[in-house]
């Protein structure tokens, strides 16, 4: 795990969890852009390493919940 980020702010910092996942597919570029358009400047994303050893932005270890077919 990484240590918590240090943010200097006068009040609470709002972080978009998996982007704006209510308006676009979670962890997608569309979700990250929607969060930015809504005024959020911090996002949280999940990374997994696939079978080929590549890092992919994905919350689950399989695509069963987020992909059809």
Q: What pairing do the DSSP bridges indicate for beta strands 43-44 and 16-17?
A: parallel
| 4: confidence class by pLDDT, cuts 50, 70, 90 | low
DSSP for 24-65, please give it.
Answer: S-TTSHHHHHHHHHTT---EE--EEE-TTS-EEE-SSSSSTT
29-56 pLDDT, tens digit each? 999 999 999 998 888 998 999 899 999 9
Residue 41 confidence (pLDDT): 86
Report the predicted TM-score, pTM, of the whole model to 2 decimal places: 0.73
C-alpha 41/C-alpha 14 separation (Å) is: 8
2 is a domain residue: no
Which residue has tokens 């005024």? 39
Question: Is 62 inside a domain boundary?
Answer: no
| Six-digit token string for 40 | 């959020």
Domain that holds residue 52: 16-57
**Does residue 1 belong to any structural domain of this protein?**
no
Domain-located, residue 37? yes
CB 60 within 8 A of CB 66: yes
């Amino acid at each position: 795990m990484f240590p918590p980020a240090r943010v200097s702010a006068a009040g609470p910092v709002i972080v978009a969890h998996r982007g704006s996942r209510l308006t676009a597919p979670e962890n997608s570029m569309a979700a990250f852009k929607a969060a930015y358009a809504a005024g959020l400047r911090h996002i949280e994303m999940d990374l997994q390493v696939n079978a080929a050893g590549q890092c992919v932005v994905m919350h689950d270890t399989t695509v069963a919940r987020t992909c059809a077919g």
